[in-house]
Structure 1
Amino acid sequence: MLNPLSSIAKSAVALALLAAPSQAQETPVVQATRTPTPPNIDGRLDDPVWHQAPAIADFFQRDPVEGAPSTEQTQVRILFDDHYLYFALRCFDSEAERLVANQMRRDAELDENDNIQIILDPYNDHRGGFYFSTNPLGARQDLLLTDEGRTRNQAWDSVWQSRTRIDSLGWSAEVAIPFDQVRYPDSDQAVWGINIGRAIRRKNEEVFLVPPPQSYGFMGRYRTSRLAVLTGLGRLQSRPPLAVVPFFLSGTQRDFTVDGSTEYDLDPGLDFKYGLTPSLTLDLSYKTDFAQVEADQEQINLTRFSLFFPEKRDFFLEGAGIFEFGERVERQGSGGRPPTLLFYSRRIGIEEGHNLPVLAGGKLTGRAGPYQIGTLRMTTQAMTFVDEEEEHEAQVDLSEATIVDTLRLHVLDTLHVAQTDFTVLRIKRDMLGRSNLGFIAIDKQPGSEADYNRTGGVDFTLSLLQAALNLRGFAAKTWTPQVEGRDRAGLLELDYRQGRFETRLNYLDVEEDFAPEVGFVPRTDIRRFKGSGRYRPRPAIDWIRMFSIGPRFTYLMDRGNTLQSRDFQFSAFVNLEIGDWFGVRYQQRYELLDEPFEIRDDQEIPPGAYEFGSYEFNLFANSSRRLSGRASCEYGDFFNGTRQRISTETIWRYNARLELEGTYEFNHINLPNGTFNTHLFGHRFLYSFSPDMFVRGFLQWNSAQELVGGNFLFNYRYLPGSDLFLVYNQVWDTEGGLEQASRSLQLKVSYYWQR
C-alpha cells in the first residue's frame, strides 16, 4: 500500500521543481533621519524638526482595487535618535467629519476603525516583526508577529507613545517607539524591513507603502512577506534591556459548595526581564499571577471530544510564537476542528478546570544568528481541590418493621495535584530563505521521578514561490512509564495561494498511545485526510466587492483503515461594498459510534453508523458601524435525530467610550429517546475613561453546565507599563434555583522600572 506521507512529499517536490521562479518586484526604500532634538509627541505635527525628514507619500490600495493609488493623501516622516524611532503621520480626508473612530481602550482591535499601522522587521528577513497601530482617538494596539505574520501575539505589550489629533483636514498622529522595545542585531549600517498602512473605514479602503496581495486573505495586513526597506539608521548598537516589575496582590475568595469558608491572600511577586544579547531575552517570574485574566467564553459541547480554549495569560502569550508546534489553530467559527498541538500552555497551571498557583517560572526567547530559541521552565504548587457535592439517594432500613426512608448522601469529590515541573526546549534553524527546520522537547515531572511524561518532535517548513507554496510537517513521539510502542504522530501539510485561489491539503497520523500531557490531542488511533479550497473572485458589480466560494473535507479512519468520521462542507459567501457579509454553508457528515455517546446526563445515542446533513445561513454586519453584529441559523439532521441552532451577537457602540455586547445561542435537539434545549447567553460592557483607563464587565449563562458567571475588571495604567487591577468574580449554580457557588475579589498593583 502506498504510504500517504511519501505520496504527499513526492507531490510537493514535483510542484517545487516544476514551478518557474517568480519575477522579483521593486522594493521601495524609505529613509530615517537622525535628529539632535526629539520632537514633542502631542499629535500636532508642528514641531520644526519634522521638516528635516523627507515625506513619504506613495501609498497604494490593497482594497478595494489592488495596486491602485490611495484615494486620500497620506504623508509620513521618520526621525530617530539614540533612544527612539519617531513617526509623524498626516492622514488627509476629504470628509473628515465621517471618520470612523469608536475605540479608545489600549489593545482594542482597531481593524474596523480608521487607523494607521506600522510594521517593523529589524532583521529584514520577512519572518516576523513588530506591529504598532493607533486610531484618531489615540487607542494603541501592539502585536508580535511570527511565521511571516500568519501568527499574531496580542499579549505582547510594548511601552511606546502615541498622540493623535482630529482637525478639518483629517487626522494626524505622532509615534515614538523605543529601540529597546524591539529586538534587532548590531550593525554598522542597519537596514530594517518596514511597512506602513492606513485604513479608511468609511470607504472600506486599505492602503500601504507595500500592499500585501489580496491572495493573503483577510489577515494580509499583518504579513511580513513583502516589505519596504528602511535605511539611514547607520550604526545601531543596542543596549540589552533590563526591566523589573514588582507587584502586590491582595484578595479574598469564598467557595460556597464546600464549607463556605473565606480565604484571604496577601502576596508580593516579581517579574524580571533582561536582555542577555540584543536578540535574546530572559524572563523570570516569582509568584506568577493571572488575576486580571478574563474567564473563558462559555461553549456548548455537542461532540464526543474536548473543547479547545485559547490561551489568555500574558506570561505564556509573550513569545508564544517560538513554542508553536503542530497544526495551525484555525479561526473560531471557520468550520474546522480543534488542532493537534504538542505544546498547549493551558496545561500548565490549570488542572480539570482548577487554577494551580505557579510558584516560579522562567523563559529564554529570541534569536542567535540563524537560530530561533525558546526555553520555558515552570513549577506549579501542590494543591488539593474539593469539588461540588454530589447528591445520591439511598434507601435505608430504619427499624425492625422495615420502615424505609430516603436519605440524601453527600459525597465530596477530591482532586490531589502534586507539585509539578514543566520544561520546554524549542529550537528552529532558519534556512533556504523563508524555510526552517526545528525540534521540540517537553518534560512534565510531577513529584515522583517515576511518574513523568515526555514529548519530542522535529518539524519543518519549506516555503517556495515567495511564500505562495508552503510544505509543513512534523514527526513526534511521547515517553510515558509502562507504555512502549504505538506512541508516535506525524503531519504533512501543503498549502498554496495564488491570485484569487487558495488550497490546503493535510494528512495527520496519530498512534493509539501518543499522549503529550502538555499538548492538545483531540483524538488518537487515527489517520486523517483534510483539505480545503477557496476561490475569491471580485466581480464588476458596483455593490459587491467579493465572493468567497469553496469546499472543505475531512476523512478520518482508525489505524486499521476503518472509516470513523467523514465531513464535507461547501460554503458560499458574498462581501458587499458596504462591508457586510452573508452566506450559506451545506454540511454532510458520517460518524461511527463504537460505544454509546452520552450527549447529556440522561440521554445517549446508541452505537452505530450515522450519516446526516445540515444547512447553515450566516449574516455579518460591518463592525465599523455604531450598531453591528452577526446572526446564524442552522437546521438539519443530527445523528438519529434533528437539530436546530440559532446564534446571534449584537454590538452597540454608543460612543467612543461605551460599548455594549450581547450574545445568545440556542440549540433544539430532537432524538428518538427525548428532546432537549440548550441556552448560552452572554452580556458584556466596556467603558473607557481614556486610552489608559477602562472598566469591563461580563455575565454569561450556560444551561448545559447550569452555571452563571460574572466578572468585573477595572484597569488603570497609571505609568507606562505600570498597572492597577481590581477584579471581582462571581459564580452561581442554577441547578434547582439560583445559589451562590463562589466569589472572589482581588486587587493587583504593579510598577514597571526600566534601566
Structure 2
Amino acid sequence: MRIPRLRPHHLLILCTAMACQSVWPPAALLAQQTPAIAAARVHSTPPKIDGNLDDAVWEQATVVTSFLQRDPVEGAPASERTEVRLLFDDEQLYVAFRCLESEPDRIVASHMRRDADLGDDDNVVLVLDTYNDGRSGFYFGTNPYGAQREARLSNEGRNSNEAWDCVWACKARRDSAGWSAEMAIPFDQLRYAEQDETVWGINLGRTIRRKNEEVFLSPSPQEYGFGGAYRTSRLATLHGLGALRATTPFEIVPYAQTASERDLSALDTGVSNEFNSGFDLKYGLTPSLTSDFTYKTDFGQVEADQEQVNLTRFSLFFPEKRGFFLEGASVFDFGERVSRRGGSISPATLLFYSRRIGIQDGHDLPVLFGSKVTGRLGAWELGLLNMTTEAATFVDEEEEERFVTDSGLLLDDEDDRLAGSIILDTVDVDVLDTLDAKRANFSVIRVRRDVLARSSVGIIALNRDPGEESGYNRALGADMNLSLLDAALNVRSFLARTWSPDLEGEDMAGLVSLEHRAGDTETQLSYLDVQENFNPEIGFVPRDDSRRIKTAFRYRPRPSTPWIRQLSFGPRLTYLMDQGGTLQSRDLEFSFFTNLEVGDWIGLRLRDRFERLDEPFDIHEEIEVPAGDHRFTSIGLNLFPNDSRRISGDASAETGQFFNGTRHRLSTGVGLKVNGRLTVETDYEVNRVNLPAGDFTTNRLSNRLLYSFSPDFFVRGLVQWNSKDELVGGNFLLNYRYRPGSDLFLVYNQAWDTEGSLHQRSRSLQVKVAHFWNR
C-alpha cells in the first residue's frame, strides 16, 4: 500500500498561519477572578482521621460548596454537591471532603495502593501554593478507598514530581449518600515563609468518574490542556491561618538490608550473601531550605525498567525512579522538557540526567554517600548535589564472531590469518567482558532567580571526577523560563558548554522554545543546536553534531455533538540537520484524535520520514540497513478506551514503509481491576520487519499483577520478555508501610536467557527494613 506523502513546506506554512491567528489570549482569560476561603483554628481536640465527619469540631469550619466544572461544560455548576471544610492547629492542616452522589452505587473506585494513579477513579484533590507566588505547590489526592497520592508541583504546575514522599494521614468511607474523606497534613512536611498574616494559594477539586466530570473551587481554563488542571497560577486564596510559625524538619530513616544473589553468567557462579545498612537524613536549615544526606543508599526496591524494543541507531531514554534523586528534582531541571506521547517518552537533550549516577552499562553501582540541599532563599531557588559511587567490577558474558581457518585456529580478525591460510567459516563464541567502574564523584550546583510575575533565570554547573586527572568532565549552563500573557505563552531557552580533556572546541549547545495556548489552539516552535563535541557525561544527548527545528500546531474544538466531547488534530514537523546544514532526518506527522463522551480516545496518524545513513546500520543481529538516503511513510491507528472501566485496555497499530523495506507493528494492553485490591495488566508489542537484507520479528511482553491488602500493604509481580535481547525478567515486591514513613520490603528478582532454550541467568532475594523517625 502506498501512502500519500506530506510536503514539508505545506506544513510549515500551515503551522505559521495557524499560529499567527492565536497570538493573544482571550480577554476572559486575563480577567478571571479567583475565590477566597478561610480555615478555622482548632482550640480543642482535633478531628480523628477515620473518614467519618461526625466530629463536632468540624462544625467550627466554614463549608465550601462553590465548585465549578472544568470539564465537560467549562464554568457550569457541579452536577453533584461537594462540601469541604478546613481546620488547623499548631501542628497540622485538616481537610474534610463530603462528596454527595445521586447514584452512589456507581461510584468508581479501583485502586487501594498508595501512590496509585487515581485518575481512573472518583477522587478529590487538594493543591497548596504555600509561597502564594503561582510558581510551585503541593498536591494531595485520595479516592473512596483512602488511597494516598502526593506530588510536588513546579513551573506553574506544568511539571509534577510524584516521587515526593510526604508523611501525612488520610482515611475515606462510602455510605448510602456518597463518600467522604479526611486529610491531616503536618506543617513540617511543607515549606513556607513566616508572615504576619499567612496567605496561601489553594485549590480543591473532585472528579466524578461515571460522568467524566472534573470540578474545582478555582478551575483553570480548558485551553491549558489535560495537564493544566493543577496550574498553580490559577489558585484561590486561603486565609485565616494567622501568623503561622514555620518549622524546620529533622527526619532520619535508617535501613538494614540482607541480600542473597547468584549470577550463573559470572566466573563465580556460587551464592553470594551480604548485609548492608545505611541511612537517609533530612534536616531543615531554614523553614524553606532543606538538606538531605544519604549513606550507602540502596535502591533494591525500585521497580525494574519497562522493557523497550530499540529499532533506531540511538540510545533509549529511561525515566528516573530512585527516590533520592526524584525528591526536589525540579530545581535541577535544565534542558528540553521531556515529552510523553501515547504512553512513550521521547528522549530530550538534558544537561543533567540523574541516571548517569550509580548506573553504568545496565549495572547498579554502589552509592557510598550523597548530600543534597534544595529550597528557597527569598526570590532565589537553590539546588546542591554531591554523590560518590564506589568502585566495582562486573563480568558479563557476550557473544562475538570468530573466524575459523583451515588450520583450526579461531581469529578475532580475518586479517590476522597466517600467509597462505584460508578462512573456512565464522562461528559465534561466548566471551567474558569485564567492566571496571572506578570510584567517582558527581557534583551539581543549581541557582535560579525569580523574575517578573512567574518567570525565572538560572545557571547550573556540573562536575564528574573519576579520580583521574585525565578523566574529568565539566559543564556550565544558563537558562531562562518566561511565562507571559498570563501564562498563555511560555518561552524557554538555554546555552551550555562542556569541558573534557580529550575534546576541544565545538562543545556548546543551545535551545530556544516557544509554546502558546489560546482558546482551542496550541502552537509549539523550537530550535536546538548541539555541536559535535558537546559531551555532558552526567546528561543525555540523543544526537550531537545537529541542528533541529520542531514545530507543531493543535486545534482542539469541542463540537456540539452528543457523543463527541472533543477533537484534537494538527501537524507536527521535526527537521534535523548536521552542523554543516545537510539534512539528516525529517519526521512529518499529521494526527487526528477524537475524545468520545464516554471517555474513549480514537486516533489516526500519518507519518512521512526521511533518514540519511552515512554508514550501514545494524538493526538486528546480522541484518543491516544500507547507507544512503531513505524516505518512508506509514499510517497508524490508536485506541485508548476509558481506563475507569473494570476491564480496560489500549491498542495501536502502524504499517508502512521502513527504511528500504516495510514494518508492521501491533501493540495492545489489557487491564483487569477487581474491587480495588487486585489489578492484572498485560502489554504486548510485536514488530515484523521485512528488509532486502533479511526479515525479523521482535516481541515484547509485560505482565504485571498488583494486590493491595490495605492502602499501606501491597504485593506486586512483574514478568517481562524481550525477544530482541533474548531475555525474560521477573520481579516480585512486597511493601508493608507498618507506620507512617516506615517500610518493610521483600524483593525477589530472577532472569532467564531465551537463546536456544530457556535457562536461568541469575536470581536474587533482598529483605529491607527502613524506619522513619522525626522530632
Q: Against the structure 1 CA distance between its residues 348 and 33, is the aligned structure 2 distance closer, same or farther, given a 3 Å change threshold?
A: same
Pick aligned residue for 2:175 from 167, 185, 189: 167
Partner of 2:552: 532
Partner of 1:157: 165
State the Cα distance separating 1:411 from its structure 2 match: 2.5
Q: Any residues of structure 2 matched to 1:226-305 within 5 Å, and which?
A: 226-259=234-267, 260-305=269-314
Equivalent position SS for 1:111: helix
Partner of 1:32: 39
Q: Any residues of structure 2 matched to 1:72-87 within 5 Å, and which?
A: 72-87=80-95
Pick aligned residue for 1:441 from 457, 461, 477: 461
State the Cα distance separating 1:541 from its structure 2 match: 0.6
Q: Against the structure 1 CA distance between its residues 686 and 175, is the aligned structure 2 distance closer, same or farther, given a 3 Å change threshold?
A: same
TM-score of the two chains, using structure 2 as the length reference: 0.93
Amino acid at match of 2:393: T
Q: Any residues of structure 2 matched to 1:360-371 within 5 Å, and which?
A: 360-371=369-380
Q: Against the structure 1 CA distance between its residues 671 and 32, is the aligned structure 2 distance closer, same or farther, given a 3 Å change threshold?
A: same
- Provide the rounded CA distance (Å) in 2 between the counterparts of 1:620 and 1:27: 34
Say yes or no: does 1:43 pair with 2:51.
Answer: yes
Q: Against the structure 1 CA distance between its residues 13 and 265, is the aligned structure 2 distance closer, same or farther, given a 3 Å change threshold?
A: farther
State the Cα distance separating 1:654 from its structure 2 match: 2.1
Partner of 2:348: 339
Asked if structure 1 preserves the Cα contact closer than 8 Å seen for 2:516 and 2:523, the reply is yes
Partner of 1:487: 507
- Provide the rounded CA distance (Å) in 1 between the counterparts of 2:762 and 2:162: 30
State the Cα distance separating 1:23 from its structure 2 match: 3.8
State the Cα distance separating 1:239 from its structure 2 match: 1.9
- Provide the rounded CA distance (Å) in 1 between the counterparts of 2:427 and 2:604: 54
State the Cα distance separating 1:25 from its structure 2 match: 2.2
Pick aligned residue for 1:223 from 223, 231, 240: 231
Q: Any residues of structure 2 matched to 1:104-183 within 5 Å, and which?
A: 104-183=112-191
State the Cα distance separating 1:451 from its structure 2 match: 1.3
- Provide the rounded CA distance (Å) in 1 between the counterparts of 2:49 and 2:242: 24
Pick aligned residue for 1:635 from 646, 655, 671: 655
- Provide the rounded CA distance (Å) in 1 between the counterparts of 2:465 and 2:135: 34
- Provide the rounded CA distance (Å) in 1 between the counterparts of 2:426 and 2:377: 70
State the Cα distance separating 1:405 from its structure 2 match: 12
Asked if structure 2 preserves the Cα contact closer than 8 Å seen for 1:396 and 1:405, the reply is no
Partner of 1:94: 102
Equivalent position SS for 1:624: coil
Partner of 2:452: 432
Partner of 1:3: none
State the Cα distance separating 1:434 from its structure 2 match: 0.6
- Provide the rounded CA distance (Å) in 2 between the counterparts of 1:193 and 1:753: 30
Superimposed CA distance per residue, residues 368-400 of structure 1 (whole angstroms, 9 cap, x where no aligned partner) = 00011101000001111111143655458479x
Partner of 1:411: 431
Amino acid at match of 1:204: N
Say yes or no: does 1:65 pair with 2:65.
Answer: no
- Between 1:313-322 and 1:220-229, the stretch displaced more is 220-229
Amino acid at match of 2:322: R
Amino acid at match of 1:339: A
Equivalent position SS for 2:397: coil
State the Cα distance separating 1:673 from its structure 2 match: 1.5
Equivalent position SS for 2:471: coil
Partner of 1:9: none
- Provide the rounded CA distance (Å) in 1 between the counterparts of 2:474 and 2:621: 35
Say yes or no: does 1:497 pair with 2:506.
Answer: no
Equivalent position SS for 1:49: helix
State the Cα distance separating 1:586 from its structure 2 match: 0.3
Superimposed CA distance per residue, residues 45-72 of structure 1 (whole angstroms, 9 cap, x where no aligned partner) = 0011111111000000000000000000
Partner of 2:319: 310
- Provide the rounded CA distance (Å) in 1 between the counterparts of 2:389 and 2:326: 18
- Provide the rounded CA distance (Å) in 2 between the counterparts of 1:409 and 1:532: 49
Q: Against the structure 1 CA distance between its residues 741 and 395, is the aligned structure 2 distance closer, same or farther, given a 3 Å change threshold?
A: farther
Q: Against the structure 1 CA distance between its residues 18 and 297, is the aligned structure 2 distance closer, same or farther, given a 3 Å change threshold?
A: closer
Equivalent position SS for 1:725: strand
Partner of 1:8: none
Partner of 1:614: 634
- Provide the rounded CA distance (Å) in 2 between the counterparts of 1:162 and 1:211: 24
Q: Against the structure 1 CA distance between its residues 391 and 589, is the aligned structure 2 distance closer, same or farther, given a 3 Å change threshold?
A: closer
Amino acid at match of 1:449: E
State the Cα distance separating 1:221 from its structure 2 match: 2.1
State the Cα distance separating 1:358 from its structure 2 match: 0.2
Partner of 2:385: 376
Partner of 1:214: 222
Asked if structure 1 preserves the Cα contact closer than 8 Å seen for 2:68 and 2:77, the reply is yes
State the Cα distance separating 1:258 from its structure 2 match: 1.6
Equivalent position SS for 1:225: helix
Say yes or no: does 1:457 pair with 2:477.
Answer: yes
Asked if structure 2 preserves the Cα contact closer than 8 Å seen for 1:85 and 1:176, the reply is yes
- Between 1:343-352 and 1:441-450, the stretch displaced more is 441-450
- Provide the rounded CA distance (Å) in 2 between the counterparts of 1:196 and 1:458: 36
TM-score of the two chains, using structure 1 as the length reference: 0.96
- Provide the rounded CA distance (Å) in 1 between the counterparts of 2:23 and 2:557: 26
Partner of 2:360: 351
Alpha-carbon RMSD across the aligned residues, in angstroms, is 2.1
Q: Against the structure 1 CA distance between its residues 13 and 248, is the aligned structure 2 distance closer, same or farther, given a 3 Å change threshold?
A: farther
Asked if structure 1 preserves the Cα contact closer than 8 Å seen for 2:24 and 2:485, the reply is no
State the Cα distance separating 1:665 from its structure 2 match: 0.3
Q: Any residues of structure 2 matched to 1:711-730 within 5 Å, and which?
A: 711-730=731-750
Partner of 1:577: 597
Q: Against the structure 1 CA distance between its residues 359 and 745, is the aligned structure 2 distance closer, same or farther, given a 3 Å change threshold?
A: same
Aligned length: 743
State the Cα distance separating 1:24 from its structure 2 match: 3.1
Asked if structure 1 preserves the Cα contact closer than 8 Å seen for 2:449 and 2:458, the reply is yes
Superimposed CA distance per residue, residues 703-748 of structure 1 (whole angstroms, 9 cap, x where no aligned partner) = 0000000000000000000000000000101111111111110001
> Which structure 2 residue ranges, 5 or more long, are not aligned?
1-18, 410-420
- Residue identity over aligned pairs, in percent, reads 59
Amino acid at match of 2:370: G
> Which structure 1 residue ranges, 5 or more long, are not aligned?
1-11
- Provide the rounded CA distance (Å) in 1 between the counterparts of 2:20 and 2:503: 36
Asked if structure 1 preserves the Cα contact closer than 8 Å seen for 2:30 and 2:486, the reply is no
Say yes or no: does 1:669 pair with 2:689.
Answer: yes
Equivalent position SS for 1:222: coil
- Provide the rounded CA distance (Å) in 2 between the counterparts of 1:337 and 1:721: 33
Superimposed CA distance per residue, residues 151-188 of structure 1 (whole angstroms, 9 cap, x where no aligned partner) = 11111010101111101110011110000111011111
Pick aligned residue for 2:668 from 648, 652, 660: 648
Say yes or no: does 1:189 pair with 2:197.
Answer: yes
State the Cα distance separating 1:222 from its structure 2 match: 2.5
Q: Against the structure 1 CA distance between its residues 662 and 646, is the aligned structure 2 distance closer, same or farther, given a 3 Å change threshold?
A: same
Q: Against the structure 1 CA distance between its residues 391 and 50, is the aligned structure 2 distance closer, same or farther, given a 3 Å change threshold?
A: same
Amino acid at match of 1:31: A
